Amino acid sequence: MKYLSTRGDPARAGFSDILLEGLAPDGGLYLPERYPRVDAATLARWRGLPYAELAFEVLSLFIADIPAADLRRLTAETYDEATFGSAAITPLRPLTALADGLWLQGLSNGPTLAFKDMAMQLLGRLFEYELARRGEHLNILGATSGDTGSAAEYAMRGKRGIQVFMLSPHGRMSPFQQAQMFSLPDANIHNLAVQGVFDDCQDIVKAVGNDLEFKRRHRIGTVNSINWARLLAQVVYYFAGYFAATKSDQDQVSFAVPSGNFGNICAGHVARSMGLPIARLVLATNENDVLDEFFRTGAYRPRGSADTHETSSPSMDISKASNFERFVFDALGRDAARTRALFADALARDGGFVLAADEFARVGTYGFVSGRSTHADRLATIRETWQRCGELIDPHTADGVKVARQHQRPGETMIVLETALPAKFAATIGEAFAGLAGAPAPAVPKALQGIESLPRRCTVLPADVAAVRRYIEEHAG
């Protein structure tokens, strides 16, 4: 299997080449040349496989340049019960007291309590494997406002050949998120608290990345959500969720996905393109509803970061959805020239684009529907899900449940992806139950109890490219 760019570069690359890269050289995103099709016999064979073996089977279809025995070992080490808390890895819980056929798929039982662990834990092992094979090292530079940074650090901690430099806005993450990252004792993890806001952190990462000489000299890499290996790892749990919710491979299911950068739901699009019987993909946004607007109207109008709302589902506070180009490329019949015109030209020139009527009609054949959820919806959904089902859900998952219920049809099996655990967002949970007797408190898993009182490793730096560059020069592997 070879990979191509959504913007038409004629070069083709192998999985191991794009693993350590971000964007394609022409600024596009990597996608496989075609989606492998999964036939009825394969689905029947996969049903009932343990998660790690299912992951091996799915990944094998996309990875031609890692020997099968190695890939099998990497997936087995990644998706084990000790790391993800149950043999099922992504267990389903019924929400039938809310609606018939409504399920929750738990993707957040990894080390940092958000679904990003599902992909990042594999990415850490793939990086370590590939770097050892090449005799190289990598300095990972990233910016985080929460979930991505901690998932990356827990995945890369102690890995040979890897140093992590993670920028975060000083004093602006939740106390729990700060403790998660800053309490890690591993020498290859560098927390850089920047005296500024998240956008300052991102600007610094971009400025360092644009300095090609510095980037090459220090072998700077990223783990952001456009990485194809992350997306590929996420395809697996759509299969796992499908098998867990159905008895026969003739059945169809729909998935509801709390969305920000369009990475998670894009993995659903890939699974559907492979032939998994997915009826609909329900995209849920919060007040930052750029993607909802697109699926309702065909207009894509990313807001500037100044117009992005700070909400109580903060990991979905995205202005520009970095994976969205992948889907549009597919929906336009893989027309790279048109994709380039939209994402390289129109986006820069006009700040957005509107699809032609025939193009939007094609989008309509991919099974997407969408909806938007607000702070009040979130609180009400958290409360109602607890009162009727006895399940405590986090604010992002609540956006998913809200929009799923808005779209679910009689008889439709609908799986909502649980993207984080409520322990990460205790303040909003408290607000949802304010004044209610017998309000539940989110359980903190054993491994994370008491982390707020552990010693912290973190270096405070000014919001200044030169200062960050100097720090990397002094500490790079």
Ligand X SMILES: *Cc1c(COP(=O)(O)O)cnc(C)c1O
Binding-site ranges for ligand X (CB under 6 A): 114, 116, 147, 225, 258-264, 315-316, 396, 419-420
Query: What is the Cα–Cα distance from 13 to 26, expressed in whole angstroms?
Result: 13
Fill in the DSSP letter of residue 302. P
Q: In whole angstroms, how close is the CB of 268 to ligand X at the nearest point?
A: 10
Closest Cα to residue 319, out of 199, 411, 213? 199
Pick the closer one to ligand X by CB: 54 or 316: 316
Q: Which of 2, 116, 206, 402 is catalytic?
A: 116
Cβ neighbours around 171 below 10 Å, total? 9
For ligand X, give the closer residue by CB, 240 or 321.
321
Closer of 254 and 261 to ligand X (Cβ): 261
Q: Which is nearer to ligand X, 130 or 377 (CB)?
A: 377
> Which residue's CB is nearer to ligand X, number 139 or number 180?
180
Rg value, the chain, Cα:
21
Question: Residue 246: which residues within 8 A CB-CB, separation 6 or more?
Answer: 253, 413
SS3 content of the chain, % helix, strand, coil (to 5): 45, 15, 40
Beta carbon of residue 225, minimum distance to ligand X (angstroms, whole number): 6
- Helix (H) or strand (E) segment spanning residue 207: helix 198-210
Q: How far apart are alpha carbons 107 and 419 in whole angstroms?
A: 6
> What does DSSP say about strands 92-94 and 102-106: parallel, antiparallel, or unpaired?
antiparallel
What is the nearest approach in angstroms of ligand X to the Cβ of residue 91?
A: 18
Query: What is the rounded CA–CA span in Å between residue 305 and residue 149?
Result: 20
Q: What is the nearest approach in angstroms of ligand X to the Cβ of residue 267?
A: 8
Pairing of strands 30-32, 3-5: antiparallel
Q: One-letter amino acid identity for 237?
A: Y
* Residue type at position 471: Y
CB of 48 to ligand X, least distance (A): 28
- Distance between CA atoms of residues 6 and 407, nearest Å: 31
Closer Cβ to ligand X, 316 or 355, answer by number: 316
Strands 253-258 and 278-285, bridge-based pairing: parallel
Would you call 116 a catalytic residue per the annotation?
Answer: yes
**Shortest distance, position 316 Cβ to ligand X, whole Å:** 5
The residues assigned a catalytic role are 116
